[in-house]
Amino acid sequence: MPSDATMTDHGPAQSFLDAVADPAFPCVGAKSAAATGRLEIVRARDITSAWNDVAIHGALLEWAWRYRDDAEGLRSLAVLFDGPADLDERAFEAALWERLQSLADKDVWRGQRYDKRVSADADNPKFSLSFGGQAFFVVGLHPQASRPARRFARPAMVFNLHDQFVRLRDEGRYERMREAILQRDVALAGSVNPMLARHGETSEARQYSGRAVDEDWTCPFRDKRA
């Protein structure tokens, strides 16, 4: 994110909304979600701890179920962690996948089906996460991110519904939005993000943490429903 500042005194949630509203912030989808009140924020303690995983999974279930009743507009669910703020990119990546593995295990435990429109195999080009029967992809943010658009004053995971981008593609709006995001990201960082790819070209798991990974990178995530 363009904002490298510490949290403002009006709290982490408002600081996150301020960062999304920053003119330099490249993701126009997140801007739309925030502007329409469809960017929900969940607070959590520590991204290296399972302390809040049950509550986070509960919020994802509710988010997925509400979407089935009202699929209008772009929306995101952001989980803001209190820390740690000193994780390097590899440590953040490891913590992010630990949380995602824990959340997926809870989805299995609660008897939720996997979204049949995507793959549960993290190595498959059609992979997406699934919670409450709805496919999600995740954007990781943290203070030590090398890409400015992924930099925020505390660790965060932003969950986005896969279906809303399928609908944008069906409506002929996806490519225009994607191009706008790419142009804004280049203006912010001075270069194209090497990890960006369309769904179905390569596994989106490579993009989640924001770290530039090698071709031989192996995703540590394994869903029991794969």
- Is 225 within a domain? no
Indicate the range of 59-73, 101-115, 148-162 predicted with least confidence. 59-73
Q: Which of 19-33, 80-94, 151-165 tops mean pLDDT? A: 80-94
- Is 161 within a domain? yes
Q: Report yes or no: 162 and 199 within 8 Å, Cβ to Cβ.
A: yes
- Nearest residue to 150 via CA among 92, 205, 204: 92
- Is 197 within a domain? yes
- Is 226 within a domain? no
Q: Report yes or no: 133 and 116 within 8 Å, Cβ to Cβ.
A: no
pLDDT at 133 over 90: yes
Give residue 76's pLDDT band: very low, low, confident or very high (50, 70, 90).
very high
pLDDT at 156 over 70: yes
- Is 126 within a domain? yes
Q: Number of folded domains in the chain?
A: 1
- Nearest residue to 102 via CA among 44, 41, 29, 50: 50
Unique residue bearing structure tokens 């509550």: 55
Taking only the tens place, the pLDDT of each residue in 29-71 is 788 889 899 999 999 999 999 999 999 999 999 999 999 888 8
Q: Report yes or no: 197 and 204 within 8 Å, Cβ to Cβ.
A: yes
- Is 4 within a domain? no
Give residue 2's pLDDT band: very low, low, confident or very high (50, 70, 90).
very low
Q: What are phi and psi of 41, to 5 degrees?
A: -120, 130
Find the helix or strand (DSSP H, E) in which 61 lies.
Answer: helix 53-69
Q: pLDDT at position 44, please?
A: 97
Residue 159's domain comprises: 12-207
- Is 60 within a domain? yes
Left, alpha or beta for 134 (phi > 0: left; psi -120 to 50: alpha)?
A: beta
- Is 220 within a domain? no
Mean pLDDT of the chain: 88
Mean pLDDT along residues 89-106 = 98
Beta-bridge partner residues of 134: 131
Give residue 9's pLDDT band: very low, low, confident or very high (50, 70, 90).
very low
